[in-house]
Amino acid sequence: MDPIIAATHSDPYPYYAALRAESGLSFHQGLGLWVACSAHAVAAVLAHPDCKVRPAHEPVPKAIAQGYAGKVFGQLMRMNDGERQRCPRSAIQPGLEMIDAETVSALVRARLISLSADGLHKAMFMGPVCVVAALLGFTPTEGRTLSELTADFVACLSPLSSPAQLDTAHAAAEHLNGYFVERLSAGDHQSPLLESILQRMADHEALLANLIGLLSQTYEATAGLIGNALLALIRNPHLKGEMQRAPARISDLLTEVQRHDPSVQNTRRFVSAPCEIDGASLKPGDVILVLLASANRDPQLNDNPDTLILDRPARRSFTFGAGRHQCPGQTLALSIASATLSEILTHTGALDQLAWEYRPSLNGRIPLFRER
């Protein structure tokens, strides 16, 4: 096991506990990077001004720098520090926070969920992107196309992608851009979310890239949240009955699952200046793997951290990050996942008919289901 394999391992949590027992922040010789695993170290790294989201020498990964996906990547707030992050963030965050759970639930209910594993796959991956597309004023048909293009585009974010997948990602980025150019030129004032963003953002290129970013940030992480909640129900069958009797409990389940078994297990930071963090001396060029999922299980952060407790008092979690880049889509993601799980439980039969494996990834923990 290593901290990257852990993300898609069947049970990485004892390994994370062993890492925490050794040190909160230590250098992993095999991977050649620092690993932050305690709640204290994770919080310190995410808050540190010299820990950036991209290495200074490579703001856009070399593998995509020459194509359209690279152009979009270079403008994403998620992939920038300084003005290029603050400006789009301050334009987009208020609109995301305005979205209410009932609007989201109505959008999720409007989509059909079929009973097969394929139906589940679509509900997990395509459904959430369709909801965000609808909130941005796209039609359901456009939403379906956008979710397919998003699936192709996110390949550019993973170092595991093949050259052919990267080519497809460039083409998808260009298509997504085209859809947003048309959406903006319609000027129909149909979407309160889009209107709120437009009022606050003048840079057209950064706007287009960060609108694409809303779809790409939604795609895998929300699928993983829904999938990991389904796994929690499969592993704890008594909870399924409880959810069906009292659907309001579904949001309690999701709030605990996002902490207990997060879809985003880790993120990275790149050191830009000499600094001391949690007793370690770091130098420019150092890379830190930030184990969000391990910090969530740190007894310093949550009592009895390995137990799934739906009514957990004072729950604390790093799943949505912390500090400057903390996820602005957290409430929306939880609303989409709650509404989707509720639909799945209404429409699907026995969950124990499902087998699963985790989708290959360096940081995402996303189960892919199939029929046994």
Footprint of ligand HEM (CB under 6 A)? 53, 77-78, 85, 89, 132, 213-214, 217-218, 221-222, 225, 263-264, 267, 319-321, 325, 327-329, 332-333
| Cα 125 from Cα 294, distance rounded (Å) | 25
| Cα 97 from Cα 92, distance rounded (Å) | 9
Q: How far is the CB of 244 from ligand HEM (least distance, A)?
A: 23
Q: How far is the CB of 135 from ligand HEM (least distance, A)?
A: 8
Q: How far is the CB of 267 from ligand HEM (least distance, A)?
A: 3
| Amino acid type, 201 | M
CB atoms closer than 10 angstroms to residue 121: 16
Residue in the structure block whose two tokens are 């902490």: 259
| Amino acid type, 42 | V
C-beta of 312 vs 365, nearer to ligand HEM: 365
Residues paired with residue 364 on neighbouring β-strands, in sequence order: 264
Q: How far is the CB of 328 from ligand HEM (least distance, A)?
A: 5
C-beta of 66 vs 190, nearer to ligand HEM: 190
DSSP letter at 359?
Answer: P
> Cβ(337)–Cβ(256) under 8 Å?
no
User: What is the number of the residue whose Cβ is closest to ligand HEM?
Assistant: 329
C-beta of 66 vs 369, nearer to ligand HEM: 369
C-beta of 121 vs 353, nearer to ligand HEM: 121
Residue 12: strand, helix, or coil: coil
* Three-class secondary structure assignment of 263-310: CECEEEEEECCCEEECCEEECCCCEEEEEHHHHHCCCCCCCCCCCCCC
Q: How far is the CB of 206 from ligand HEM (least distance, A)?
A: 12
| Cα 25 from Cα 290, distance rounded (Å) | 9
C-beta of 18 vs 56, nearer to ligand HEM: 56
C-beta of 41 vs 163, nearer to ligand HEM: 41
Q: How far is the CB of 362 from ligand HEM (least distance, A)?
A: 13
